[in-house]
């Protein structure tokens, strides 16, 4: 049997009784949805100050899946894995603790910490002394040390049940979904937009995904997969939408009519206009972007101010003060970095000397040259889909890039991992030619390879190679498959 006790976020605990009750109920429901996908017989109990999860399974794979699921539910700061014991005497608690912690404290310094609720004829200190003394005497090499011990044995007592903590796990924190209003995140598929979306989900906001397509079908496939991954990992308890807007006509109009130095800011203002129109149609009050102050020319304080003035819709920038490396680190932590690295950059317009201090009057003057019927048309034709349908669609798309585990004799494997990955773990295949072309150079270098051969793209997890194969197919290279050993 596996039992976990989910601790409430401290910010939930300090709220009024009615708000706390609502937040805790939402958390309980979300835990039920995720846990019952793993074990349909799992028991979830709302204990007011915590939520308990109990599975009668003995399968360690189920245990690992339950832990993984709880780690990805917004609103859970930490949860403890416990063995529950009914007791009558302190010795009952000690015997259970000895059995579970014998190997843990053997040959180490340790202390015992106890938290207690209910009426008992002993104190928490009594438990700590009794259990600690017993372990000290009966476990070889174990020695009590109250300050900075190597191990801490934790016990929680509530009425006539003792909970001996075997492990503490940490979750993603934040608030349960959907304790905040819905938002729409502008997704490009890169590091920033993915992490910004995650941060809003973590804060309890049901997050929809809006994609401005500048790069054709291949770009859309990648962004859909990234959006679906974030939703499935962190917010699959609630339905959300994926909205795709074909922005190429807007970019073409900007390139033809707007002064070069003003193009970047005008493009962002067009995106905010379009996003605001979509948000109003969906009844959503805020847009989310991955912009970080000073990261690129359009993200100076002056330019952001000019961009914001184009709409009354609230624009949230959860990464505004983050450094790029901090954003990349979070992306690695949540599992989106490989997809972000593989995502081709489609900036739409590139100014030779982009303005970093846009003037609103000048921007308005340039926008007067723009045909706004084009913007209205692309928003009207926006495709809105249930994000759950992406998985079905993705399976159909994947068929375009065949995956193989056995290579033919004349195969050429293209290792598209980054140089650092390739250096750390070189791919060596006996009797098979392997060439190394990093994914970020594949678009320009693949055409230099002899085109009378079949090529098999390789990366660590297959995500990047699948996406790059689809992009190469889009560019007319039909001699590309994916190698998945």
Which residues are designated catalytic? Answer: 459
Instruction: Give the whole-angstrom CA distance, residue 149 versus residue 374.
Output: 68
Nearest-5° Cα angle at 355, 354 to 360: 135
How far the first Cα of the chain sits from its last, in Å, is 36
CA distances from 101 to 107, 226, 332, 479 (A): 12, 42, 34, 58
**CB under 8 Å to 271, separation ≥6 — which residues?**
186, 212, 247
Please check if 287 is assigned to a binding site. no
Instruction: Give the whole-angstrom CA distance, residue 84 versus residue 468.
Output: 50
Instruction: Give the whole-angstrom CA distance, residue 343 versus residue 248.
Output: 18
DSSP string spanning 341-408? HHSPP--S---SS--SS--HHHHHHHHTTS-HHHHHHHHHT-EEEETTHHHHHHHHHHTTS-EESS--
Please check if 268 is assigned to a binding site. yes
Alpha-helical segments (H) within 191-300: 191-202, 216-234, 248-257, 263-282
Please check if 150 is assigned to a binding site. no
Pairing mode of beta strands 50-55, 151-158: unpaired
Asked if residues 134 and 38 have their Cβ atoms less than 8 Å apart, the reply is no
* CA–centroid distance for 59 within its chain: 27
Backbone dihedral angles phi then psi of residue 460, each to the nearest 5 degrees: -65, -45
CA quadruple 275, 276, 281, 284: dihedral, nearest 10:
100
Nearest by Cα to 455 from 438, 434, 426, 471: 434
Instruction: Give the whole-angstrom CA distance, residue 406 versus residue 138.
Output: 57
Instruction: Give the whole-angstrom CA distance, residue 415 versus residue 434.
Output: 7
Alpha-helical segments (H) within 39-123: 60-71, 90-105
Q: Identify any residues that bridge with 157 across adjacent strands, giving them in sequence order.
A: 116, 162
CA distances from 367 to 268, 296, 304, 350 (A): 12, 22, 17, 17
Q: Which residue reads 């601790």 in tokens?
A: 7
Nearest by Cα to 456 from 426, 422, 428, 481: 481
Q: Which two tokens stand for residue 355?
A: 């303005």
Pairing mode of beta strands 314-316, 433-436: unpaired
Binding site for ATP: which residues?
Answer: 186-187, 268, 290, 299
Q: Annotated binding site: which residue ranges?
A: 186-187, 268, 290, 299
């Amino acid at each position: 049997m596996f039992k976990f006790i989910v601790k409430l976020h401290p910010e939930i605990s300090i709220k009024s009784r009615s708000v706390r009750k609502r937040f805790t109920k939402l958390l309980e429901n979300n835990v039920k949805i995720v846990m019952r996908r793993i074990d349909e017989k799992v028991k979830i109990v709302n204990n007011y100050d915590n939520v308990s999860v109990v599975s009668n399974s003995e399968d360690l794979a189920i245990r690992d899946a339950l832990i993984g699921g709880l780690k990805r539910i917004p609103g859970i700061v930490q949860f403890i894995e416990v063995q529950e014991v009914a007791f009558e005497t302190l010795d009952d608690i000690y015997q259970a603790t000895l059995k579970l912690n014998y190997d843990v404290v053997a040959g180490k310094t340790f202390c015992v910490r106890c938290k207690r609720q209910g009426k008992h004829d002993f104190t928490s200190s009594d438990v700590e002394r009794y259990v600690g003394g017993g372990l000290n005497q009966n476990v070889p090499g174990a020695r009590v040390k109250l300050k900075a011990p190597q191990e801490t044995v934790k016990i929680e007592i509530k009425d006539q049940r003792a909970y001996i903590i075997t492990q503490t796990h940490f979750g993603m924190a934040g608030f349960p979904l959907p304790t905040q209003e819905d938002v729409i995140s502008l997704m490009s598929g890169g590091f920033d937009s993915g992490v910004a979306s995650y941060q809003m989900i973590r804060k309890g906001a049901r997050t929809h995904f809006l994609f401005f397509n500048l790069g054709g079908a291949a770009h859309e496939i990648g962004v859909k997969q990234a959006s679906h991954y974030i939703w499935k990992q962190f917010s699959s308890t609630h339905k959300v939408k994926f909205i795709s807007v074909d922005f190429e006509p807007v970019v073409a109009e900007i390139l033809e009519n707007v002064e070069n130095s003003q193009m970047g800011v005008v493009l962002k203002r067009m995106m905010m206009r379009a996003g605001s129109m979509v948000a109003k149609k969906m009844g959503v009050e805020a847009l989310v972007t991955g912009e970080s102050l000073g990261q690129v020319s359009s993200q100076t304080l002056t330019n952001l101010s000019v961009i914001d003035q184009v709409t009354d819709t609230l624009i949230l920038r959860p990464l505004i003060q983050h450094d790029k490396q901090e954003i990349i680190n979070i992306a690695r932590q949540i599992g989106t970095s490989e997809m972000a690295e593989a995502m081709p950059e489609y900036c739409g317009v590139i100014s030779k000397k982009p303005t970093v201090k846009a003037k609103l009057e000048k921007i308005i003057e340039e926008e007067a040259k723009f045909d706004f019927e084009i913007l209205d048309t692309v928003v009207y034709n926006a495709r809105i889909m249930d994000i759950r349908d992406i998985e079905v669609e993705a399976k159909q798309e994947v068929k375009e890039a065949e995956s193989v585990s056995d290579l033919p004799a004349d195969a050429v494997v293209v290792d598209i991992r980054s140089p650092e990955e390739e250096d750390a773990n070189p791919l060596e295949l006996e009797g098979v030619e392997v060439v190394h072309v990093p994914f970020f150079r594949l678009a320009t270098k693949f055409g230099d390879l002899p085109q009378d051969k079949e090529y098999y793209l390789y990366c660590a997890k297959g995500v990047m190679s699948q996406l790059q194969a689809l992009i190469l197919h889009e560019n007319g290279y039909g001699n590309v498959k994916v190698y998945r050993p």
